[in-house]
Amino acid sequence: MAKATVPPTPHTPLGLDDFTEPALARRWTRVWNLLRNAAWELWRNRLATMGAVMVLIIFLVALLAPFIARYDPVKQNYREMLQGPSTAHYFGTDKFGRDIWSRVVWGAQRSVIISLLAVMVGLVCGVPLGTLSGFYGGKLDAVLMRVVDAWLAFPGILFYLIAATIIQAYKLSLFWNTVGLIIALGVAQTPAMARLVRGSVLGEREKEYVEASHVVGEGHFYIAFRQILPNCLSPVIIQATISLGVEMLVLAALSFLGLGAPPPTPDWGADLNLAREHMETLPYLAIFPGLAISFAVLGFNLFGDGLRDILDPRLAES
């Protein structure tokens, strides 16, 4: 990416020179240019911006759940069951008389936390694996890649199902249930992440600055993790963003298969599941949780695509 064209000021401690008028003017110009660049990028990638806004909304809702939910999401009241959207209940009530707006809002918190943590687990496991494999190459690479191949060959659904089986075998509390789910989701993602990183690292490895570092005598770990890896991060970030969306869909599918949150935890997938019996008659029951999921996933996808355009201009259209 082209840097600002202003010549760099000499490196001096913050002294009187930095507060001269021309110096300040140059600083402001630089900041202004950066902002203008960013705005131009955002405008060019309208979809990405939309994605970013959507992601922001979801995060905000998740964060502010306790304040914007109007009722206790698990409080039942069968006398108010299956009411349509109204001023009392923005999204209506479900078959137990619970307020759907509150459930969607708290569900956002659960979805966001689980997806984020799952992706992080995937990163924490996959990135080092891929980096080491790509960097050292040779035998280590061969062995690790075979492991990753085998890992990749297991049907994704399997990890979740097995996690659910174990969770049930030990009858774990909600907390450990969630932890187990996060680990399973993260583990399922690891091989793809590892492969991605390895590919990038293999590409970077041949570059000159790496050779230079070797010659100078820098340690392997330093070269691999402090020099090469930062340059390989763009595909990883993009993949991670899109994975966030994918994890949310997986969570919904798990609820459908009966493996989701233990009731009565507010969960988008679980609510969508409950709404199945009324799909024809009371579509609002399915629309709101469904829309929430789609909104979140779409946001992550758009944002990830946008990031791809920004970080990897090679792939962007001219």
Q: Which stretch binds other proteins (CB under 8 A): 9-17, 23-31, 158-166, 213-221?
A: 158-166
Closest contact distance (angstroms) between CB of 202 and other proteins is 9
CB of 29 to other proteins, least distance (A): 31
Tell me how far apart the alpha carbons of residues 132 and 21 are, in angstroms, rounded to a whole number: 50
Question: 3-state SS string over 195-251?
Answer: HHHHHHHHHHHCCHHHHHHHHHCCCHHHHHHHHHHHHCHHHHHHHHHHHHHHHHHHH
CB 186 within 8 A of CB 247: no
Would you count residue 207 as binding other proteins (CB under 8 A)?
no
Tell which one of 61, 188, 238, 272 touches other proteins (CB under 8 A). 272
Residue 136: C-alpha distances to residues 21, 125, 221, 236, 265 (Å):
52, 17, 10, 20, 46
**276 contributes a contact to other proteins by CB under 8 A:** yes
Choose the stretch contacting other proteins; rule: CB under 8 A; options: 60-68, 126-134, 228-236, 276-284: 276-284
CA distance 129 to 145: 9
- Say if CB 127 and CB 197 are below 8 A apart: yes
Distance in Å, CB of 281 to other proteins, minimum: 6
Phi/psi for 268 (5° steps) reads -60, -45
The SS3 of residue 60 is helix
Nearer to other proteins (CB atom), residue 10 or residue 258: 258
83 is an interface residue for other proteins by CB under 8 A: no
Site for other proteins in 50-79 (CB under 8 A): 74-76, 78
Query: 230 vs 263, which CB is nearer to other proteins?
Result: 263
Which residues have C-beta within 8 Å of that of residue 243, sequence separation ≥ 6? 119, 122, 189
Q: Which residues pair with 99 in a beta bridge?
A: 93
DSSP designation for 99: B
Which of the stretches 8-16, 105-113, 128-136, 156-164 binds other proteins when contact is defined by CB under 8 A?
156-164
Query: Is 16 a binder of other proteins (CB under 8 A)?
Result: no
Within residues 209-238, the interface with other proteins by CB under 8 A covers none
Among 117, 184, 197, 302, binds other proteins (CB under 8 A): 302
Interface with other proteins by CB under 8 A: which residues? Answer: 47, 74-76, 78, 81, 95-97, 146-147, 149-150, 152-158, 161-162, 165, 168-171, 173-174, 245, 249, 252-253, 256-258, 262-264, 269, 272, 276-281, 286, 290, 293-294, 297-298, 301-302, 305, 315, 317-318
